[in-house]
Amino acid sequence: MRITFVVGTGRCGSTMLSRALQAHPDVLGMNEFFTSLAAKGDGAFQDRPIDGRRFWSLLSEPALTFDAIAASAFRTAEMIYPYGEGRFRPETGVPAIAHMTLPALTADPDALHDDLAAVVPHWPTRPVADQYRALFTDLGQRLRRSVVVERSGASVAFLPALRALFPEARFVHLSRSGPHCARSMSRHAAFRTLLLRTEAVESLGLASPFDLGPEHGALLPDHLAHLVGKVDVDRVMRTPMPLAAFGKLWSHLMTRGVDEFLRLPPQRRMTLAYEDILDRPEHHLGRLAAFSGAEPHPAWLHEAAASVVRTDRPPVTDPDTLSACAPGERALERQNRLPHAGNAR
């Protein structure tokens, strides 16, 4: 199956884009798949042989941070599992892929979970990238979808690993104005948690927020120690965080993401701006479908374009936030001056 990754900083219109892609009859939309796995710190990107039992554990064991957010008053719009009706409860643990990925594929995510649970643990030992490919193929056959598009929030951070695991894949960099992303991040429980976890790993000298484990709890100051294990989401939302801090986070993700994105061959990369989708949804969704290998059917384009809703927001004028976003904006301008295969249309 042809695989395309839509990567971005998060809060850049990617959830809107996922909904449009999920309506395409040929697209297997793996919504928030790798974010769901990476949030567990289980080594989702370690390129190693793994048997079916361990692979199923990676997919199905709970992600404590997402369980905490889902159980709180600050559940995010991306979390679409039927929490009040489904079998699983965030208080006792929801399978990692059930919060956002499976319910985007089917109206009965519990049944699809059970179908996978019956076969995946029996798969042979093989490199983890091949396990992912086998999963995509299995789901594609079950759901009669022929093109895989994976989209996760803050996934520019995964670009080096995704390039290594899937050298055949194509990549779309979805971007949005930095100050607008920062403002949206500042209101979002997962990004507020990510910002605090970034502070925590920097204080410990760790490489990534996803490296923070239970063994680090005793080493952190009180205002960060609750990030280990099941996060205190209420406390996260009460913690004062300046908007400029989210501008800095956005710039960090953007500058590193652009550097990694430009390591791809031009024929395997495409750029897409949230603002452009709002202005000409059918044109740009058609570009995305064609680049991903899906036919841009007129009926789908019409339906998908109708789902694109423009929400007018006042400009961000805080000078500290604008300054914090400036490095990321410069990186984005540098990226957009270069040729990309998917931009030829």
- pLDDT above 80: residue 189: yes
Read off the pLDDT of each residue in 318-332 and give the average, rounded to a whole number: 98
- pLDDT above 90: residue 15: no
If one counts the domains in the chain, the total is 1
DSSP 234: H
Which of the two residues, 213 and 204, has the higher pLDDT score? 204
- pLDDT above 80: residue 42: no
Under the banding of pLDDT at 50, 70 and 90, the label for residue 45 is: very high
Under the banding of pLDDT at 50, 70 and 90, the label for residue 229 is: confident
What is the Cα–Cα distance from 233 to 73, expressed in whole angstroms? 9
Q: Residues near 26 by Cβ (< 8 Å), separated by ≥ 6?
A: 145, 146, 147, 294, 295
Which range of residues forms the domain containing residue 137?
A: 2-343
The helix/strand/coil state of 172 is strand
Q: What CATH number is associated with residue 112?
A: 3.40.50
pLDDT of residue 101: 97
What is the Cα–Cα distance from 308 to 313, expressed in whole angstroms? 15
- pLDDT above 60: residue 194: yes
The helix/strand/coil state of 4 is strand
Residues 268-305: tens digit of each pLDDT: 999 999 999 999 999 999 999 999 999 999 999 999 99
Under the banding of pLDDT at 50, 70 and 90, the label for residue 19 is: confident
pLDDT of residue 256: 95
Q: How is residue 155 written in tokens?
A: 């996934």
Tell me, rounded to whole angstroms, the distance of Cα 246 from its chain centroid.
17
pLDDT of residue 37: 94
* Threshold 0.85, pTM exceeds: yes
Which of the two residues, 342 and 21, has the higher pLDDT score? 21
Cβ neighbours around 281 below 10 Å, total: 21
What is the Cα–Cα distance from 188 to 180, expressed in whole angstroms? 13
Which of the two residues, 228 and 121, has the higher pLDDT score? 121
* The 147-151 sheet, strands edge to edge: 27-31, 147-151, 2-7, 170-175, 269-273
